[in-house]
Amino acid sequence: MVYHEKKLAVSGLMTGASPGQPPTGMQKPMKETAILLISCPDQKGLVAAIANFLHEHDANILHADQHQDAELELFLMRVEWEMADFGLPVPEFSHAFAPLAERFRMDWRLSLSSYRPRMAVFVSRYDHCLADLLYRHQSGELHCEIPIIISNHEDTQWLADAYGLPFQHIHVHKDSKAEAEKMQLALLHHHRVDFLVLARYMQVLSPEFIRHYPHRIINIHHSFLPAFNGAKPYHRAFERGVKLIGATSHYVTEVLDDGPIIEQDVTRVSHRYAIEDLIQKGADLEKVVLSRAVKWHIESRILLYANKTVVFD
Amino acid sequence: MVYHEKKLAVSGLMTGASPGQPPTGMQKPMKETAILLISCPDQKGLVAAIANFLHEHDANILHADQHQDAELELFLMRVEWEMADFGLPVPEFSHAFAPLAERFRMDWRLSLSSYRPRMAVFVSRYDHCLADLLYRHQSGELHCEIPIIISNHEDTQWLADAYGLPFQHIHVHKDSKAEAEKMQLALLHHHRVDFLVLARYMQVLSPEFIRHYPHRIINIHHSFLPAFNGAKPYHRAFERGVKLIGATSHYVTEVLDDGPIIEQDVTRVSHRYAIEDLIQKGADLEKVVLSRAVKWHIESRILLYANKTVVFD
Amino acid sequence: MVYHEKKLAVSGLMTGASPGQPPTGMQKPMKETAILLISCPDQKGLVAAIANFLHEHDANILHADQHQDAELELFLMRVEWEMADFGLPVPEFSHAFAPLAERFRMDWRLSLSSYRPRMAVFVSRYDHCLADLLYRHQSGELHCEIPIIISNHEDTQWLADAYGLPFQHIHVHKDSKAEAEKMQLALLHHHRVDFLVLARYMQVLSPEFIRHYPHRIINIHHSFLPAFNGAKPYHRAFERGVKLIGATSHYVTEVLDDGPIIEQDVTRVSHRYAIEDLIQKGADLEKVVLSRAVKWHIESRILLYANKTVVFD
Amino acid sequence: MVYHEKKLAVSGLMTGASPGQPPTGMQKPMKETAILLISCPDQKGLVAAIANFLHEHDANILHADQHQDAELELFLMRVEWEMADFGLPVPEFSHAFAPLAERFRMDWRLSLSSYRPRMAVFVSRYDHCLADLLYRHQSGELHCEIPIIISNHEDTQWLADAYGLPFQHIHVHKDSKAEAEKMQLALLHHHRVDFLVLARYMQVLSPEFIRHYPHRIINIHHSFLPAFNGAKPYHRAFERGVKLIGATSHYVTEVLDDGPIIEQDVTRVSHRYAIEDLIQKGADLEKVVLSRAVKWHIESRILLYANKTVVFD
């Protein structure tokens, strides 16, 4: 089972920028839309049933994408419609949709574009991914809240300050990791965080920690997985003499660097690149690969099955 | 109006390879499917109506893609289903679908995967695109017939021979172009050709000729259009000092190099590339960009509107 | 004549970060090196003569790149060596090298890696390129000073503040452009600026202005030049239905968007991209394409001839 | 020690196409050039010494590339000059260059552009790489001889016939592999083969076999190595849910898929790709990645060190 019905995001949480902070960017006023993600066994009549349900309630469909996995006989769908003239009040959706969902044994999730998911960012010393996420958030590209940035170092405090966002330093020592994670979890809970982004966070999270946020922790790994999983991928890429370096964003599971891949990209290198050059050129990849994953997650474009992702972009 | 109902492709035209020729490749036995392309004004209830129609006739949908153009309020769809248990005989489809099509003012077209469209190839002296198309045809990647290859030179006869395909040399002189086109058209008509591919054919076709095959002539232009349209694009790219060269496949319209773009790609070059190197590296681009366009055309993946293409790949 | 001997950059201009500002990043201590750029008619014995000159003065060569343009019979070279054990004091280089330079009719330029060129940034309202440059400057990737950021709007003041850099708002009205340029030039002169970057600066500079900084103004154009030069390239790309969008960094000359191209890149788009999506995806391209050009300029990797660039990367 | 002095390729081996065969393509008449590859410990005066040697003999240098590996203190160079007015007869080169080579402890190799290296192609059933190589050979892009094509199947005989090239079927059974290799080696020896290309040859060669052609066997592996080394890489890529698939050409060493990488490339895939689609899209990658490696090998552009390649392209 992939998707479970989630408490609906009805209440808007529009926290404005504090005075004296950077402007909130060029966010155009967006139409409010609803996004329904569905995953169920494939069978005839499925599309007709869903389309009829939406039509009965007067939905004006803006986007619809579907995918069938022939081997697993699985049906996956993302459909987005305007809320303006939708005939079904959001609190009643669950009840109204239930018969259909049961008949086709659907896992489903509804989200509203007006809701800005609450994202926590974990970071260590490398700050390029953090700087990139904060800029994209500020410019309106990432439609989310950032209630908290957590780091095991103090180096990136200045960036959080520059963007007027809360920063919490939690020291992590190998002997006190469990305690540190307890503090982190308390903080995440306090801030009602929906999902986490590890923006080059250099600590391995414990399975216990991960279980609190199943498929809701996004990591960026600085290689083209499954090549060079684990530590020091640029050094190993250099040694192996590869002609392209890569970056991979994925959901974190209990097996290191093995979770479902969300996005990957590569860039060309040559013998003229020293390790420092790989690291610098790779940083540009990491930024775009991570930010795409975060954006797709926020916009409910990702469906999961068989330790893989379907991205309806 | 983009699509007009087309005489249905009911009769299969399975011409096997002649004896003594290359094997017909690794064509896996394919399920027979039907593909419906639809283009109409966007309105509520459209998807439900189509899904219901297909469900009523027991269609097992394999793929469905749709696109809405918000500005033009246009709805575009491609849906593919298995013929095995489809309840409606093909010759009756048109009649049965008519009420729906009229209600929503649809342009539509049905094609069957079992039908292999009949493709003519025009070529001059450069033979890389021809060699590539013939290989892909032989290997089963391009699910089409090639009843005729036409050239204004004899240089590529050997390639046609190698693949056991008919070749016709029609000399084109600037004073006898109209006559040559008349001969070409007669040949195309005789071979009941469905669409044409200009595989680096170095002659400009007349508007009269083009009108016989509206949106059914695919050209490959050796630049990233609209840059360097017209003659000698590699030379002009070299002179301008661009850092990437490109190739563009497009449908031919009466305005040179201005038809709807089907596919484009680019590759990196540097100051170390002389013009001959650009030409050689560009040839690899041209091959893949043209073959993708041809494949999408054969598989009914391309919809046209506003001098643009939607490719449901 | 491309290169003219330039007053040598002997005095280091190491301005530290002000207190309370972001840290100056992870700048590794670099070996001091000298970089010699040479451009001259190609002839036998050239490489031997240069190599002998450097060897006589005990140069430890770290990198050497050369290029011959066969058609123009031109020789271009970049050679970099360590200063540590170089036997010729920098102030004497010019005198010692003169006989060789004259004999082979060289245009040449020497620069020292210890000198941080002084870069001014011009910006309007779009701030993504500015944000990217400031971050790269702060992180140590761009080895330059930024004595002044100039804008015709006040919107980006906060970014300059965040990075602790001087910002000057100079209003530009179509009737007062000449006056505005006079103020800009005075400011650039006052800050002893070496080169300018137009980071999506939405004003066309006058030929008079440009003549003050020949081949020392770098612009980013948001298309794959020469396609869509001039205004609104993303809108025109959308209308034309291209399958890739691009960005181009180039030196500014008096003809709009026609200067020597330094770097270009493209990214894939599809029918699913609205204009706003093109703009957003394009912004990521613009950032990397501009920053590469700036970095190569700073590191003396670019040679110019025939309105083209040779980049020794 | 990487390079050993090789018996010089003085005698041209210009075997023309047999009558009735495809034309030998658009081979422009090339200037005869000499290419010198050098690998030695880095030290001062090296470039000057080489440049002086060439200048003394009146060499007109066309291209020169060099690379220093800072960590290993290694110097690598490729220099190409015109033979027309070169003052040193080829048979005397070795003797004249010896003092320099000894002084700097060089591994070096001289090759002449007029010599067409003799390449054997090994193939099994997949014929796309073979078809691609034969086309490029015929068109003049690959400046080599193909004295023999060897296969453990008869499926590709028709392709060899189409291009008028000798084909030998040698059956390989797991119990008779040693014997088969003996026959293959005899054939290679008889045809005085310089290097081998495994064009999707589905048999693992024995270490004994490989030792006969050290760094002279080029393989294409259908993944982005080191990811998915070994069997069935596309299936494993599909299972892992990667977003890009790749291909890698490398020299064969005794450790499977572990030899020095010559070239790699990737292409984007999505959830819409079934395994057969990966295989088909991957085939296009394999062709270009293999053909680039072969071309660079033929043109003496590849230097080896530390199980890596330097490609002077």
pLDDT tens per residue across span A131-185: 999 999 999 999 999 999 999 999 999 999 999 999 999 999 989 899 999 999 9
What pLDDT is recorded for position B174?
A: 87
The verdict on C69 and C182 lying in the same domain is: no
Taking residue A117's Cβ as centre, other Cβ atoms within 10 Å add up to 20
What pLDDT is recorded for position A8?
A: 34
Q: How far is CA A201 from CA A197, A219, B6, D283, in A?
A: 9, 8, 59, 38
Q: Is the pLDDT of residue D60 over 50?
A: yes
Closest CB to A48 among B52, B63, B65: B52
What pLDDT is recorded for position B31?
A: 86
Which residues in chain B touch residue C67, judged by CB atoms under 8 angstroms apart? 271-272
Which residues in chain B touch residue C278, judged by CB atoms under 8 angstroms apart? none
* pLDDT mean over D94-103: 97
- Concatenating the DSSP letter of every residue in D242-267 gives -SEEEEEEEE--SSTT-SPEEEEEEE
Given an 8 Å threshold on Cβ–Cβ distance, is A22 in contact with C159? yes
Closest CB to B139 among D128, D162, D272: D128
Given an 8 Å threshold on Cβ–Cβ distance, is C22 in contact with A141? no
* CA B136 remoteness from chain centre: 14
Nearest to A227 by CA among D248, D72, D279, D215: D248
Nearest to C124 by CA among C88, C165, C153: C153
* CA C214 remoteness from chain centre: 12
Shortest distance, CA B162 to any CA of chain D (angstroms): 5
Separation CA B297–CA B290 (nearest Å)? 11
Residue C226, preceding peptide bond in cis (omega within 30° of 0): yes
pTM exceeding the 0.80 threshold for the entire prediction = yes
Shortest distance, CA B141 to any CA of chain D (angstroms): 8
- Non-local (6+) Cβ contacts of B52 within 8 A are A48, A51, A52
With H, G, I as helix, E, B as strand and everything else as coil, classify residue D152.
coil
Shortest distance, CA A129 to any CA of chain C (angstroms): 11
Q: To the nearest 10°, the Cα dihedral for C253, C255, C260, C264?
A: 120
The verdict on C126 and C265 lying in the same domain is: yes
Contact between A266 and D266 under an 8 Å Cβ cutoff? The reply is yes
Show which subunits contact C, needing at least 3 CB pairs below 8 angstroms: A, B, D
The verdict on A90 and A122 lying in the same domain is: no
The verdict on A199 and A297 lying in the same domain is: yes
Given an 8 Å threshold on Cβ–Cβ distance, is B162 in contact with D284? no
* CA D48 remoteness from chain centre: 30
The verdict on D51 and D189 lying in the same domain is: no
Contact between D63 and D79 under an 8 Å Cβ cutoff? The reply is yes
Window A:130-189, CB contacts with D under 8 Å? none
Interface probe for D, chosen from C31, C42, C47 (most Cβ of D below 10 Å), is C47
| Nearest chain C residue (CA) to B65 | C272
What average pLDDT is seen over chain A?
Answer: 91
Nearest to D109 by CA among D40, D193, D32, D8: D8
The verdict on D142 and D222 lying in the same domain is: yes
- DSSP state, C30? P
- Concatenating the DSSP letter of every residue in C101-140 gives HHHTT-EEEEEETT---EEEEEE-S--HHHHHHHHHHHHT
Residue at which a domain ends, from A112, A132, A148: A112
Contact between C66 and C56 under an 8 Å Cβ cutoff? The reply is no
What pLDDT is recorded for position D28?
A: 54
Q: How far is CA C240 from CA A265, A292, B262, C229, C245, in A?
A: 27, 26, 11, 14, 11
Please, which pLDDT band fits residue D2 given cuts at 50, 70 and 90? very low
Phi first, then psi: what are they for B208, rounded to 5°?
A: -60, -45
The verdict on C246 and C279 lying in the same domain is: yes
| Nearest chain C residue (CA) to B257 | C240
Separation CA C51–CA D48 (nearest Å)? 5
Give the residue numbers spanning the domain of C54. Answer: 2-112
Q: Which residues of B are catalytic?
A: 257
Shortest distance, CA D244 to any CA of chain B (angstroms): 16
* Number of compact structural domains in chain B: 2
Q: To the nearest 10°, the Cα dihedral for C22, C25, C29, C30?
A: -110
pLDDT tens over chain B, length 313 residues: 333 343 333 332 223 333 345 655 444 557 899 999 999 999 999 999 999 999 999 999 999 999 999 889 999 999 999 999 999 999 999 999 999 999 999 999 999 999 999 999 999 999 999 999 999 999 999 999 999 999 999 999 999 999 999 999 999 998 989 999 999 999 999 999 999 999 999 999 999 999 999 999 999 999 999 999 999 999 999 999 999 999 999 999 999 999 999 999 999 999 999 999 999 999 999 999 999 999 999 999 999 999 999 999 8
B302 touches chain C (CB under 8 A): no
Catalytic residue among A257, A258, A284, A313: A257
For residue A93 the two structure tokens come to 């959706």
Please, which pLDDT band fits residue A192 given cuts at 50, 70 and 90? very high
How buried is residue C145: exposed, middle or buried, by Cβ count under 10 Å (0-12/13-18/19+)? buried
The verdict on B259 and B132 lying in the same domain is: yes
DSSP strand pairing (C217-221 vs C195-198): parallel
Show which subunits contact A, needing at least 3 CB pairs below 8 angstroms: B, C, D
The verdict on A47 and A177 lying in the same domain is: no
| Nearest chain D residue (CA) to A227 | D227
> Is the alpha carbon torsion for D217, D223, D229, D231 positive or negative?
negative
Contact between C198 and C252 under an 8 Å Cβ cutoff? The reply is yes
Residue at which a domain ends, from D112, D130, D165: D112
D203 touches chain C (CB under 8 A): no
Separation CA B107–CA B6 (nearest Å)? 10
Separation CA D149–CA D168 (nearest Å)? 6
Nearest to B268 by CA among C142, D304, C270, D292: D292
Shortest distance, CA A55 to any CA of chain B (angstroms): 6
Closest CB to A128 among C139, C158, C162: C139
Nearest to B20 by CA among B164, B156, B131, B149: B164
Tens of pLDDT, residues A266-306: 999 999 999 999 999 999 999 999 999 999 999 999 999 99
Interface probe for B, chosen from C73, C220, C224, C309 (most Cβ of B below 10 Å), is C224
| Nearest chain A residue (CA) to B77 | A64
Closest CB to D44 among C47, C55, C68: C55
Closest CB to B280 among D141, D155, D276: D141
Which residues in chain B touch residue D158, judged by CB atoms under 8 angstroms apart? 21-23
- Non-local (6+) Cβ contacts of A173 within 8 A are A180
The verdict on D173 and D292 lying in the same domain is: yes
Catalytic residue among D69, D194, D257, D313: D257
pLDDT tens over chain C, length 313 residues: 333 343 333 332 223 333 345 655 445 557 899 999 999 999 999 999 999 999 999 999 999 999 999 889 999 999 999 999 999 999 999 999 999 999 999 999 999 999 999 999 999 999 999 999 999 999 999 999 999 999 999 999 999 999 999 999 999 998 989 999 999 999 999 999 999 999 999 999 999 999 999 999 999 999 999 999 999 999 999 999 999 999 999 999 999 999 999 999 999 999 999 999 999 999 999 999 999 999 999 999 999 999 999 999 8
Shortest distance, CA D91 to any CA of chain B (angstroms): 31
| Nearest chain B residue (CA) to C313 | B270
Separation CA D63–CA D103 (nearest Å)? 24
Window A:234-293, CB contacts with D under 8 Å? 240-244, 246, 260-261, 263-266, 270-272, 274
What pLDDT is recorded for position B222?
A: 97
Interface probe for D, chosen from A67, A243, A267 (most Cβ of D below 10 Å), is A243
Residue A64 sits in a domain whose CATH number is: 3.30.70.260
Which residues in chain A touch residue C21, judged by CB atoms under 8 angstroms apart? 158
The verdict on B62 and B180 lying in the same domain is: no
3-state secondary structure chain B: CCCCCCCCCCCCCCCCCCCCCCCCCCCCCCCCEEEEEEEEECCCCHHHHHHHHHHHCCCEEEEEEEEEECCCCEEEEEEEEECCCCCCCHHHHHHHHHHHHHHCCCEEEEEECCCCCEEEEEECCCCHHHHHHHHHHHCCCCCCEEEEEEECCCCCHHHHHHCCCCEEECCCCCCCHHHHHHHHHHHHHHCCCCEEEECCCCCCCCHHHHHCCCCCEEEEECCCCCCCCCCCHHHHHHHHCCCEEEEEEEECCCCCCCCCEEEEEEEECCCCCCHHHHHHHHHHHHHHHHHHHHHHHHCCCEEEECCEEEECC
Which residues in chain A touch residue B47, judged by CB atoms under 8 angstroms apart? 47, 51, 55, 61, 64
Residue at which a domain ends, from A112, A143, A176: A112
Shortest distance, CA D249 to any CA of chain B (angstroms): 17
What pLDDT is recorded for position A238?
A: 96
Residue A226, preceding peptide bond in cis (omega within 30° of 0): yes
Interface probe for B, chosen from D21, D31, D65, D136 (most Cβ of B below 10 Å), is D136
How buried is residue A212: exposed, middle or buried, by Cβ count under 10 Å (0-12/13-18/19+)? middle
Interface predicted TM-score (ipTM) of this complex, two decimals: 0.90
Nearest to B307 by CA among B264, B233, B257: B257
The verdict on D101 and D185 lying in the same domain is: no
Residue A283 sits in a domain whose CATH number is: 3.40.50.170
Tens of pLDDT, residues A77-99: 999 999 999 999 999 999 999 99
| Nearest chain D residue (CA) to C60 | D44
B108 touches chain C (CB under 8 A): no
What pLDDT is recorded for position B22?
A: 65
- Concatenating the DSSP letter of every residue in C258-272 gives -SPEEEEEEEE--TT
Q: Is the pLDDT of residue A12 over 90?
A: no
Given an 8 Å threshold on Cβ–Cβ distance, is A135 in contact with C139? no
